[in-house]
Structure 1
Amino acid sequence: MSAEMDALVASATQKLEALEAALFGLKQVRGQFTSEDGSVGVEVDSDGALVGLSLAESVTTLSPAEVGQLIVWACRRAAEDAGTQRSKVVATLNESFVPAGQEPGGTNGGGPDSA
């Protein structure tokens, strides 16, 4: 029974470490986007909140509405980047919870008629 308990503790420890790594990874996510002409650059956190904004002097030739649209567009692109990074962190976490010998998203033995 001691071997079973050791295996259970090892499994729980591994899952806890995977959760901690995922939490750390999510805190590190930063989505970034800079327009092709370099006039607008943004950085967002893992929630998509704006944490950095840079504007080139060239934006002074645009109307405030155009600059606002550029910033919103760049934020959306940076948030998409952050979302992709977040998905990778969660996928890694999910893989750590798949039992040995079972493929992610697969079934665990048995056919359609098995009980």
Structure 2
Amino acid sequence: MSAEMDALVASATEKLAALEAALHGLQQVRGRFTTEDGAVGVEVNSDGALVGLSLSEAVTALPPAEVGQLIIWACRQAAEHAGTQRSKVVATLNESFVPLGQEPGTTKAGGPDSA
């Protein structure tokens, strides 16, 4: 019985460590994008929220609506980069929860919820 309990505790500890690593990884995710001309630079977090914005002197020569569109476009690009990073963190977490002996993306036939 002690060996079973030790294995259960070890498994729970490993899963907790994987969850903590994922949380830390998600907190570190940042998407950055700067327009080719360097006029607009943005940084977003893992949720896609804008956390940094830099505008060069060049934006003063542009109409405000165009500057706004550049900022939105740059944010979208940065959010895509952040989303890719976030997906990698979540994939790593998911892999840590795959039962031993089972390949990721497969399921065992005949389980209680199988048809």
Q: C-alpha displacement at 1:58, in angstroms? A: 1.0
Look up the match of 2:73: 73
Q: Which amino acid aligns with 2:61?
A: T
Q: C-alpha displacement at 1:17, in angstroms? A: 0.5
- Cα deviation code 1:55-104 (max 9, x no counterpart): 11111111000000000000011111111111110000000000111111
Look up the match of 1:13: 13
Q: Which amino acid aligns with 2:80?
A: E
Look up the match of 1:86: 86
Secondary structure at the counterpart of residue 76 of structure 1: helix
User: Is 2:4 the partner of 1:4?
Assistant: yes
- Cα deviation code 1:20-69 (max 9, x no counterpart): 11011111111110111111100011111111001111111110000000
Distance 2:13 2:27 in 1: 21
TM-score, normalising length: structure 1: 0.92
Q: C-alpha displacement at 1:109, in angstroms? A: 5.2
Look up the match of 2:56: 56
TM-score, normalising length: structure 2: 0.92
Distance 2:28 2:22 in 1: 10
Q: Which amino acid aligns with 2:40?
A: V
* Structure 2 unpaired stretches of 5+: none
Structure 1 runs of 4+ with >6 Å offset: none
Q: Which amino acid aligns with 2:69?
A: Q
Q: Which amino acid aligns with 1:10?
A: A
User: Is 2:34 the partner of 1:34?
Assistant: yes
Please say which of residues 66-75 and 32-41 is displaced more in the overlay.
32-41
Look up the match of 2:44: 44
Secondary structure at the counterpart of residue 103 of structure 1: coil
Alignment length (residue pairs): 112
Distance 1:25 1:56 in 2: 31
Look up the match of 1:97: 97
Q: Which amino acid aligns with 1:90?
A: V
Q: Which amino acid aligns with 1:75?
A: C
Identity score, percent: 83
Q: Which amino acid aligns with 1:55?
A: L
Secondary structure at the counterpart of residue 48 of structure 1: coil
Distance 1:109 1:48 in 2: 39
Q: Which amino acid aligns with 2:62?
A: L
